[in-house]
């Protein structure tokens, strides 16, 4: 029986609330706590017969501020959606609720999920529970901090270029970006639709896998979801042919942790081979061309007319648009709308957008080729351990470059799982990538890595 079924929900909620009251004022991980609702739901769950068929009964979760939960706020950490209350729930949330999971709050994040440090929130930065001087990563930094601080058993995040995996790595947790199309995006506030995926961040593989299984699968409200059945997970077979991708310039702590893991895998009889990757220099530029293009189009809907913030006393319609958007969006979001509008403009469309689309196809083909020889691709999640608050805010290019290792899987659509490694003082994580819809293979490899990590 999973751990959330072995306990009463109400005392678990009370303990989580206690930790939230103690630590959230420093961490700023949660923008809102659903205190009374969580208690009520817990009481209701505790009064059900013990054999009620609810796989997630009493599992406590939080939702990222860009994932809609009916009759609750969803502001994507932006001023422009400050008072927006969603009339409906994301499919992922509907499925979690139907399975007996219980939502305890709404997690801070980077505005419209644009960022790598959670310093782009209109509601203040989030701090890392491992060390409050460090960023928690981003954009799902509030989710990761909440999961690491024991506010919940699982935190929902969204991952467009690493926003689940990088904060999970910075906070010492598991984090999954599923295959594109495996979990419905219905109810996720769009950033770059051909990249965005919802997924779980959790301290345990058990909670990560169980919540993934509940959320995954076809949804008639998201035409990009796959109808492929979601297979139940089993720890076997364990994959044993690994390709290792190592870019230059890794921080020594990351390098050493990865080498330690590789040795342990080899000692346990697995084959790990370092392979070439010819595209390192192209990943980040391709990602930022395509995602800003999609963002400039997706964010056009925040015009002050339909919902969210509206400027006071506009002169005319154009003034209404211009002032609403100038006042409502933060600097990073504006930068990306400008960049995206530029790369889509008639004179530059060929030179940037179309070439980036072609580059994206090359990355996909190369990855498929690797995965025809190897079962799993291993690469670090981040080239560095968590950095300090304020360290990269002055230089957006440095911030973008920190996404090198995670944007790859969003460009190709392959599933990628972040696994924490316990070989250093600072949090370091390894990423496992596999073929489309082979999440179960990644989970099996993660259990093997977990086992080997704790071997002397």
Binding mask 216-255 for ligand GLN (x = CB under 6 A): ----------------------------------------
Q: Scanning residues 337 to 396, which ones bind ligand GLN (CB under 6 A)?
A: none
CB closer to ligand GLN, 381 vs 440: 381
- Is 234 a known active-site residue? no
Decide if 78 is catalytic.
Answer: no
Q: Footprint of ligand GLN on residues 115-174 (CB under 6 A)?
A: 115-116, 139, 158-163
- Closer residue to ligand GLN in complex, CB, 58/137: 137
CA-wise closest residue to 320 among 337, 336, 302, 296: 302
Q: Pick the catalytic residue: 78, 143, 163, 402?
A: 163
Nearer CB in complex with ligand GLN: 34/212:
212
Which positions from 183 through 202 interact with ligand GLN, judged by CB under 6 A?
A: 191
**Beta strand extents in 166-247 (DSSP E only):** 174-177, 197-202, 241-244
What burial class does residue 35 get, using C-beta atoms within 10 Å of its C-beta: 0-12 exposed, 13-18 middle, 19+ buried? Answer: middle
- Report the site for ligand GLN in 276-305 (rule: CB under 6 A): 291
CB of 274 to ligand GLN, least distance (A): 26
Closest CA to 258 of 410, 382, 131, 415: 382
| Most distant CA atoms of the chain, gap in Å | 72
Query: Which pair of tokens denotes residue 19?
Result: 């930790």
From the list 110-118, 142-150, 230-238, 357-365, the region that binds ligand GLN by CB under 6 A is 110-118
Q: Is 403 in the site for ligand GLN (CB under 6 A)?
A: yes
Q: Which residues pair with 370 in a beta bridge?
A: none
Going by their DSSP bridges, the two strands 376-380 and 241-244 should be labelled as parallel
Question: Rounded to the nearest whole angstrom, what is the least distance from the CB of residue 139 to ligand GLN in the complex?
Answer: 4
- Tell me the chain's radius of gyration from C-alpha atoms: 21
Q: Which is nearer to ligand GLN, 94 or 159 (CB)?
A: 159
Q: How far is CA 196 from CA 117, 159, 446, in A?
A: 18, 6, 23
163 is catalytic: yes
Question: Which residue's CB is nearer to ligand GLN, number 75 or number 324?
Answer: 75
Task: Give dist(CA 287, CA 409) in Å, integer.
Answer: 11
Q: Do the beta carbons of residue 65 and residue 31 sit within 8 Å?
A: yes
Copy the structure tokens of residue 211: 């919540």
Query: Which residues form the interface with ligand GLN (CB under 6 A)?
Result: 113-116, 139, 158-163, 191, 291, 403
Q: Which residues are catalytic?
A: 64, 139, 163
């Amino acid at each position: 029986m999973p751990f959330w079924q072995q306990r009463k929900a109400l005392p678990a909620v009370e303990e989580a609330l206690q930790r939230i009251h103690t630590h959230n004022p420093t961490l700023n991980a949660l923008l809102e706590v659903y205190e009374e609702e969580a208690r009520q739901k817990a009481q209701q769950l505790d009064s059900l017969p013990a054999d009620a068929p609810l796989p997630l009964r009493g599992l406590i979760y939080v939702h990222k501020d860009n994932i809609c939960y009916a009759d609750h706020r969803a502001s994507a950490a932006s001023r422009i959606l400050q008072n927006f209350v969603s009339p409906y729930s994301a499919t992922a949330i509907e499925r979690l609720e139907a399975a007996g999971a219980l939502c305890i709050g709404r997690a801070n994040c980077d505005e419209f999920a644009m960022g790598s440090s959670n310093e782009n929130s209109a509601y203040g930065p989030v701090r890392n529970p491992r060390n409050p001087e460090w960023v928690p990563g981003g954009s799902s930094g509030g989710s990761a901090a909440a999961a690491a601080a024991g506010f919940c058993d699982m935190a929902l995040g969204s991952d467009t270029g690493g926003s689940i995996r990088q904060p999970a790595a910075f906070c010492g947790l598991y984090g999954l970006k599923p295959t594109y199309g495996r979990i419905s995006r219905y109810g996720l506030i769009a950033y770059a639709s051909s990249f965005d995926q919802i997924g779980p961040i959790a301290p345990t593989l058990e909670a990560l896998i169980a919540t993934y299984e509940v959320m995954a699968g076809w949804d008639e409200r998201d035409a990009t979801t796959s109808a492929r059945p979601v297979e139940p997970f089993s720890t076997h077979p364990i994959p044993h042919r690994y390709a290792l991708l190592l870019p230059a310039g890794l921080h020594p702590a990351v390098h050493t942790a990865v080498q330690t893991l590789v040795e342990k895998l080899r000692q346990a009889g697995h084959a790990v081979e370092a392979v070439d990757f010819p595209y390192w220099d192209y990943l980040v530029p391709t990602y930022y061309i395509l995602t800003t293009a999609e963002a400039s189009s997706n964010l056009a809907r925040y015009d002050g007319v339909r919902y969210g913030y509206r400027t006071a006393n506009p002169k005319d319609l154009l003034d209404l648009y211009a002032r609403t958007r100038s006042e409502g969006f933060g600097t990073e979001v504006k930068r990306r709308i400008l960049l995206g509008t530029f790369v889509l403009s008639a004179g530059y469309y060929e030179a940037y957008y179309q070439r980036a689309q072609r580059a994206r196809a090359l990355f996909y083909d190369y990855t498929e080729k690797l995965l025809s020889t190897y079962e799993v691709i291993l690469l670090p999640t981040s080239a560095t351990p968590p950095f300090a608050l304020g360290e990269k805010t002055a230089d957006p290019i440095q911030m973008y470059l920190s996404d090198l290792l995670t944007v790859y899987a969003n460009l190709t659509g392959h599933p990628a799982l972040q696994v924490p490694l316990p070989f250093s003082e600072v949090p370091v994580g390894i990423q496992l990538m596999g073929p489309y819809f082979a999440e179960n293979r990644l989970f099996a490899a993660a259990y093997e890595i977990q086992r080997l990590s704790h071997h002397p």
